[in-house]
Amino acid sequence: MHNDIEKILYSEQDIKEKVKEIGGQISRDYKDKNPLLISILKGGVVFLADIMRAVSIPVEIEFMGVASYGNSTKSTGVVQITKDCNIDISDRHVLIIEDIVDTGLSLNYILRYLQGKNPRSLRICVLLDKVDTHEPDIEMAYKAFDVPDEFIVGYGLDYDEKYRNLPYIGILKKEIYQ
């Protein structure tokens, strides 16, 4: 599995330090607000698990599933909710926990969808941002790392359901997915 990685971008230690930093920021920003953290499945689960342990305030968690890749390595541009949020978010402080912003289409769709449910606030916490690939202007309240326009795996991100369990974030060798 490790032999399939072209380059490690962020080590396990890099991730731990950044998660601790973001957890502190969230704790300060949401003090006395009981935020609802909504993780986008499946990739955001690992990030959510670490973020919720890094905050020092009470939080609630929920999950949403969204598909835009189909069986491809590139977004199809068509976004579909595969698992909806089961909690009433009206008048709640909501923080979306996302693994990666690639084209930004899925995240923009989620934002519009959740905004229609009247949260008190709606913000984004993203692990990875492919800054050169997304067209929509997306305001991220918290961002861990920028990444190049490569196929990124590890720490929850997968290719064909593999590599999610890698403790680091890396670039997958092209011959694996082409």
pLDDT value of residue 130: 93
50 is catalytic: no
Residues of the chain where predicted confidence (pLDDT) is lower than 50: none
CATH number 3.40.50.10680 given to 18-147: no
pLDDT value of residue 136: 63
**Measuring CA to CA, which residue among 154, 156, 133 is closest to residue 4?**
154
Write down the catalytic residue from 4, 102, 158, 160.
102
Q: What is the pLDDT of residues 122-171, one digit of tens each?
A: 999 999 999 888 766 789 999 999 999 999 999 999 999 999 999 999 99
The whole-model pTM stands at 0.91
* Residue 98, C-beta contacts closer than 8 angstroms, at least 6 positions apart: 40, 43, 44, 47, 107, 124, 125, 126, 127
Domain ranges of the chain: 18-147
Q: What is the mean pLDDT of the chain?
A: 93
